[in-house]
Amino acid sequence: MSSLQTESTRGPHHQTVPAEDSGGTSSPARSDPLTDIEKLLEQSVAESTPIHLSAKNIAKNYFRGRHEVPVLKGVDLTIRKGEFLSIIGQSGSGKSTLLHLLGTLDAPSSGEIWLENERIDNVPNRQRDVLRNRLFGMIFQFYHLLPELSVMGNVLAPLMIANTTFGYLRQRREFRRRGQELLELVGLEHRVKHKPRQLSGGEMQRTAIARALINQPEILLADEPTGNLDHETGTEILEILRTLNARQNLTIVMVTHDHAIAGQADRTVRLEAGTVVNV
Ligand code: ADP
Ligand code: MG
């Protein structure tokens, strides 16, 4: 499989507009405004696509000492299958909090998280861990790679956690093949044995993307994935995410405070005063 670095493909809801040529320095998907009729077509395609993940009237309070501080105050959000949604908002507005709640890393104070027709915020811990590993891939601003492991080691680490030692060793050839394929997908096949300290920021984030995909998740959650990268490298990472979204119909929820980065998703919402508003 070839590198996706320079690909420029539109998400599943942009089929009414011809795809751009993958000519290298491509512009963001949203650079050509849709006409009225195209907007209507796009809306009807979006509304007929099944709901993948939803937040229903979510509130989240944190305790600061003995004071309960509300961060989210009734968030309603619907994410459709194959959608690429971005969530913008100022620092401290609760973006990471919301992403963690969507990914069942934390529990809401009230409200519900649903995966299709299944409520997932209230399942018992062990079951929720299994569900999370199967459903979600996650990437972060600071990559969170393990420094002592190679690129391949980092990519395979979730499989070592998800399997017994015996199970892992029995399937290691298949797992390594999958790791290799993912590293080719993100354009890192020449860095397999490198350690994180030998990589650039962009290469570390590519490694983190490959790691997030190794368990074949349905939904990728990205928390400020370009927050620590220069503009050009950030754009390359966005190209990888957009191609994954378009080619594999991977549902993506990306949090960012960068409007230009957010604008490359299918749809953007803003977190403001504890609720979500459409942009
Ligand atoms: P963002 O990602 O938009 O910058 P966060 O979701 O990280 O915002 O944080 C939202 C607010 O909640 C901030 O005021 C932050 O200090 C507070 N907060 C986040 N996590 C915790 C926590 N575990 N305990 C207490 N307060 C927290
Ligand atoms: Mg944050």
* Degrees to nearest 5, angle at CA 96 with 95 and 101: 100
Q: What band does 10 get if pLDDT is binned at 50, 70 and 90?
A: very low
Q: Report yes or no on 4 lying in a domain.
A: no
Handedness of CA 259, 257, 91, 110 (dihedral sign): positive
Q: Report yes or no on 35 lying in a domain.
A: yes
Distance 92 CA to ligand 1 centre (A): 6
Indicate the SS3 state at residue 179: helix
CB of 65 shorter than 6 A to ligand 1: no
Count of structural domains within the chain: 1
> Which is the closest atom of ligand 1 to the Cα of 94?
6
- In this structure, what CATH number is given to the domain that contains residue 110? 3.40.50.300
* Degrees to nearest 5, angle at CA 85 with 82 and 89: 170
Q: Report yes or no on 6 lying in a domain.
A: no
Q: Report yes or no on 115 lying in a domain.
A: yes
CB 215 within 8 A of CB 250: no
Q: Flag whether pLDDT at 46 surpasses 90.
A: no
- Which residue's CA lies nearest to atom 20 of ligand 1? 97
Please tell me the predicted confidence (pLDDT) of residue 41: 85
Q: Report yes or no on 176 lying in a domain.
A: yes
Q: What band does 20 get if pLDDT is binned at 50, 70 and 90?
A: very low
- Size of the chain, expressed as the number of residues it contains: 279
pLDDT in tens, 230-244: 999 999 999 999 999
User: Percent of the chain scored above 70 by pLDDT?
Assistant: 89
Q: Which of 231, 277, 229, 224 is nearest to 255 (CA)?
A: 224
Q: Report yes or no on 159 lying in a domain.
A: yes
Q: Report yes or no on 23 lying in a domain.
A: no
> Residue 51's domain spans which residues?
12-18+30-278
- Which residue's CA lies nearest to atom 26 of ligand 1? 62
Q: Flag whether pLDDT at 48 surpasses 90.
A: no
Q: Report yes or no on 207 lying in a domain.
A: yes
Q: Looking at the CA of 274, which ligand is closest?
A: 1
